[in-house]
Amino acid sequence: MRMRRLVAGLVALVMLTSTAWAEPLEQELARVLKVDEVSAILRDEGVRYGAELEADMLGGQGGRYFQDRVAALYDADAMGAALTKALAQTLDNDEMRAVIDFFDTKEGQRILTLENAGRVAMADPAVEVLARATYQDLVGSDDPHLVAVERFVETNDLIERNVTSGLDSNYHFLRGLVEGGGAKMGEREIVSEVWAQEDEMRADTTSWIYGFLLMAYQPLTGDTLQSYSDFSASVAGQSLNKALFIGFEQIYNEISYELGLAVAQAMNGSDI
């Protein structure tokens, strides 16, 4: 009897220990999806974009204030936390588990690694030009790789979602610029200016996304891309796509507004 109670006690202790040290599901999901790596890539992209803004709108004279503000806005930890929060709030436990089951595999991790590596590569202007040119050479053809990528893009509605997100970001940037005193525009003018960019943004977004995905997914077999598209079309896959866009939109809308303010303050010589 004493041995049975001792064994039962040991089992309970193991269960309690496992529970206490179990990784929260949303954190496990973030780890599997390489959210920290993605956030670091977004930070680097943001710093480069800030440098372009400084050159284009401030004549390269933003100074230490502007550069420090850009670095603070594109905080990798904050962006990672926002993405993880969006995942936790949008996906239920069953959906999170389904996403983990798909991506926590050799092939799933390879897909994510290729996506991240491709995004880093696209930061090189020469690579971006080549990727876009590859798409232009294939567009309208029945190339099997293009057809597979088209299916993936359509399943995830990547063009329209990205165009909408881009227009929203531009709107928030202009709001920040105006409210910071860097431009004089009313709400109607801001909206009109943003919508005037729609066609150009859609063409640019289409070229970039297809160029990027054709390059990133080149090493994948047709069966793997089909499997990825099938997963993306599932309830869990659609919830994941929705969660990521929610997270990205929140991140970039807030950053864009603050960037607009920072540009305005730099224009005005403010050291606030």
Whole-number pLDDT of residue 63 = 87
pLDDT in tens, 169-198: 999 999 999 999 999 999 999 999 999 999
Q: Quickly state the pLDDT bin for 4 (edges 50, 70, 90).
A: very low
Q: How many CB atoms are located within 10 Å of the residue 46 CB?
A: 21
Whole-number pLDDT of residue 62 = 87
Whole-number pLDDT of residue 101 = 98
In the predicted structure, residue 89 carries a pLDDT above the cut 50: yes
Chain mean pLDDT for the chain: 91
Q: Which sequence spans correspond to the domains of the chain? A: 25-267
| % the chain with pLDDT above 90 | 87
Distance between CA atoms of residues 81 and 71, nearest Å: 17
- Look up tokens 């909206």; give the residue: 191
**Are 87 and 29 contacting, i.e. CB atoms less than 8 angstroms apart?**
yes
pLDDT in tens, 191-205: 999 999 999 999 999
pLDDT in tens, 110-145: 999 999 999 999 999 999 999 999 999 999 999 999
pLDDT in tens, 222-238: 999 999 999 999 999 99
**Are 98 and 234 contacting, i.e. CB atoms less than 8 angstroms apart?**
yes
Distance between CA atoms of residues 158 and 114, nearest Å: 18
Please count the CA atoms within 13 angstroms of the CA of 198 that sit on its side-chain side: 7
Q: Quickly state the pLDDT bin for 269 (edges 50, 70, 90).
A: confident
| % the chain with pLDDT above 70 | 90
Phi (first) and psi of residue 171, to 5 degrees: -60, -45
